[in-house]
Amino acid sequence: MTRWPQGPRSVPLARRALRRALDDWGLRDIEDVASLVLSELMTNAVRHAHVPGREIETRFEATLGSLRIEVHDASENRPLMALPEDDAGGGWGLPLVDTLSEKWGVSDRQGTGKLVWAELTTGAAHNHS
């Protein structure tokens, strides 16, 4: 698990950490999709789950045939997926995560807050965390 400050600069830093993990695990083939999913989840946490004095945490786990991306934050506010209006400048994050991942969801976590997770198919027979 890696902790990140509650700010937009943490999004590319988390993406870089994910890319290093995928490289270590031999999963470069899903790097673009996984990076986009992580970016959307991190951006949601930065924008909508800000809790003063608390950080965002990420966890990546590769298992047999899948990659799990988790973003933990201290906010109790759960994200809602709704399609934005055609002229909306944003709001496409969760619909994009829904399209790119096998499944995703929001779960309780130990302590305050929640974790938002997504699972992607890797096609690889790895088991790392």
Checking if the pLDDT of 35 tops 80, the result is: yes
Predicted local distance difference test score (pLDDT) of residue 77: 84
Q: How far apart are CA 106 and CA 48, in angstroms?
A: 14
CATH number at residue 39: 3.30.565.10
Tell me if 36 sits within 8 A of 99, measured CB to CB.
Answer: no
Candidate from 14-28, 57-71, 88-102 with smallest mean pLDDT: 88-102
What average pLDDT does this structure show over 40-48?
Answer: 90
Domain that holds residue 106: 2-128
Domain count, the chain: 1
Checking if the pLDDT of 90 tops 60, the result is: no
Confidence grade of residue 82 (pLDDT, cut at 50, 70, 90): low
Checking if the pLDDT of 53 tops 50, the result is: yes
Strand order in the sheet with 56-73: 2-4, 56-73, 114-128, 103-108
**CB neighbour class for 47 (10 Å; exposed up to 12, middle 13-18, buried from 19):** exposed
